[in-house]
Structure 1
Amino acid sequence: MRFVPVGLGATHSPYQPMWELQRAVHGEVADGTRDDTVLLVEHEPVYTAGRRTHLAERPQDGTPVVDIDRGGKVTWHGPGQLVAYPIVRLRAPIDVVAYVRTLEQAVMDVCEGLGLHPVRVDGLTGVWLPADDRAGERKICSIGVRVARGVTMHGLALNCDPDLGQFGRIVPCGIPDADMTSLSRELGRDVTVLETAPLLEAALRDRLADVVVSRDGAPDEVPAALP
């Protein structure tokens, strides 16, 4: 499995070229000509809407939204948020829910390693911090995926040190009373994307090993379409 940081720490990547890159890598992984690949990126500010997004859940101030083919609803990506796009072949029989739980657990491992104690919330996707004397349940990581030809696309967005006010223009993930949080807010210090990336890579490498098809010998070069 190859982890590819796309401009991480140097640039904020626009969404559309990354989506095109995902599709190119997905086709090669599905064809068996490329090893499983995880793209790590920090985006320019953008709102993306999954297939279940309702009109009332979109920004109402004219803010542009990119409609995409993942599950889930509307969310924000931007500076200070570490986004991982695992493009991996799942073992048969395909169990998308189990795959999502694997992504959640990898993020929970990262949070635990930093001293936080995240939880899952029944009926909701993503990783949350439990209610305490400071605030109610709050979401620290959003997850939305698609599986085609047995290979995954899209992935997770972990809030490191973003401007959380950007979530105020939307109904995050379609949950009207969801509060969003970040590693920096919870830990009371600046936790950057660059600090978090190797922790997330290690956790994903460990957890994904349980759900992906093991393949050796496929080329690991990144397509020339990298932005």
Structure 2
Amino acid sequence: MSSAPRDPFFPADASIRSSAAPISVRELGLIDYEEAWRLQAELAKQRGRDEIGDTVLVLEHPSTYTAGKRTQPSDLPQDGSTVVTVDRGGRITWHGEGQLVVYPIIKLADPVDVVDYVRRLEEAIIEAVRAVGVPTAGRIDGRSGVWVPHTTLAADPAAPRRDRKLAAIGIRVTRGVTMHGLAINCNNSLEAYEHIVACGIDDADVSTLSLELGREVTPDDIARPLLPALDSALAGTLAVADHTFASAPDPSKGLRKAAQ
């Protein structure tokens, strides 16, 4: 197994936020991807100038492919679908109805620790996903996001059988302020993923909470445990723990940034 990331800059029980004020949560419902992106950018500028406090946007998007900075031509859909080129890290992914999307606009404490921030997002997701009934959810060393191991059989026989991703993370940090964030597959269709190499990974699968549990799990269902877990993870009251069950190559390691 490859070595773990370096020790975080902050103790596990310390806040990673620069502010102790409560986080404002804005529920936006179904919103166009590019409209939400523009809103994020404006809020991030305001947060950087301390005109607003930390804010979390909670929403869903209509069906949209988005390509991060490391997306490769071979990742792209071959059916002519439109792809939005975006300023986050990572490669291509998909957003759509039935998937919970959360964009934290957070000013991080100095020194800014991007790796620890991602680990804390993962910890919040793991906490929430386990709370709704997937106790084996965890990490694959070398890959971001939250996964279920192939040794766990999903309740729905239609679910994939390899290691499978339930939640993706793609972020941007500018002047200490975060943008973009996380997406958790709840009761969305997986059909759109068939046309791309999601996150540049072709040796694992994508799943949903509904397939894993054999019952309908909506974005609202997972938002309820996720939002308090996210607050706690950023504050350090929910400490990052070792939930790693496997190791795999980083799909973006060594790749040049694609032309934007």
With structure 1 as the length reference, what TM-score do the two structures score?
Answer: 0.89
Matched, 1:3 2:21: no
| Alpha-carbon shift at residue 161 of structure 1 (Å) | 0.5
| Alpha-carbon shift at residue 133 of structure 1 (Å) | 5.9
Matched, 1:51 2:69: yes
| Alpha-carbon shift at residue 119 of structure 1 (Å) | 1.4
Report SS of the residue matched to 1:60: coil
Report SS of the residue matched to 1:125: strand
Judging changes above 3 Å, is the alpha-carbon distance between structure 1 residues 15 and 133 closer, same or farther for their aligned structure 2 residues?
closer
How far apart, CA to CA, are the structure 1 residues paired with 2:235 and 2:45? 21
Partner of 1:102: 120
Aligned partner of 1:197 among 223, 226, 230: 223
| Alpha-carbon shift at residue 60 of structure 1 (Å) | 1.2
Judging changes above 3 Å, is the alpha-carbon distance between structure 1 residues 2 and 90 closer, same or farther for their aligned structure 2 residues?
same
1:196-225, Cα deviation, whole Å (9 max, x unpaired): 2121111111111239xxxxxxxxxxxxxx
Report SS of the residue matched to 2:222: helix
| Alpha-carbon shift at residue 164 of structure 1 (Å) | 1.0
Partner of 1:122: 141
How far apart, CA to CA, are the structure 1 residues paired with 2:86 and 2:213? 33
Partner of 2:51: 33
Aligned partner of 2:233 among 196, 207, 212: 207
1:101-158, Cα deviation, whole Å (9 max, x unpaired): 0000000000111121211101101000011264221000000000001000000000
When the two chains are superposed, the root-mean-square deviation of aligned CA atoms in Å is 1.2
1:80-115, Cα deviation, whole Å (9 max, x unpaired): 000000000111111111100000000000011112
Q: Which residue type is aligned with residue 17 of structure 1?
A: E
Partner of 1:141: 167
| Alpha-carbon shift at residue 191 of structure 1 (Å) | 0.3
Partner of 1:68: 86
1:159-182, Cα deviation, whole Å (9 max, x unpaired): 011001111110010111220001
- The structure 1 segments of at least 4 consecutive aligned residues displaced by more than 3 Å after TM superposition are none
How far apart, CA to CA, are the structure 1 residues paired with 2:72 and 2:204? 16
Shifted more, 87-96 versus 46-55: the winner is 87-96
| Alpha-carbon shift at residue 70 of structure 1 (Å) | 0.2
Q: Which residue type is aligned with residue 184 of structure 2?
A: L
Equivalent positions of 1:159-198 (< 5 A) are 159-198=185-224
How far apart, CA to CA, are the structure 2 residues paired with 1:118 and 1:125? 13
How far apart, CA to CA, are the structure 1 residues paired with 2:175 and 2:127? 29
Report SS of the residue matched to 1:29: helix
Q: Which runs of 5+ in 1 are unaligned?
A: 212-227
How far apart, CA to CA, are the structure 2 residues paired with 1:19 and 1:136? 33
How far apart, CA to CA, are the structure 2 residues paired with 1:21 and 1:198? 23
How far apart, CA to CA, are the structure 2 residues paired with 1:198 and 1:34? 24
Identity of aligned residues (%): 47
How far apart, CA to CA, are the structure 2 residues paired with 1:89 and 1:51? 22
Judging changes above 3 Å, is the alpha-carbon distance between structure 1 residues 161 and 195 closer, same or farther for their aligned structure 2 residues?
same
Q: Which runs of 5+ in 2 are unaligned?
A: 1-22, 154-160, 238-260
Partner of 2:157: none
Alpha carbons 1:172, 1:178 under 8 Å: kept: no
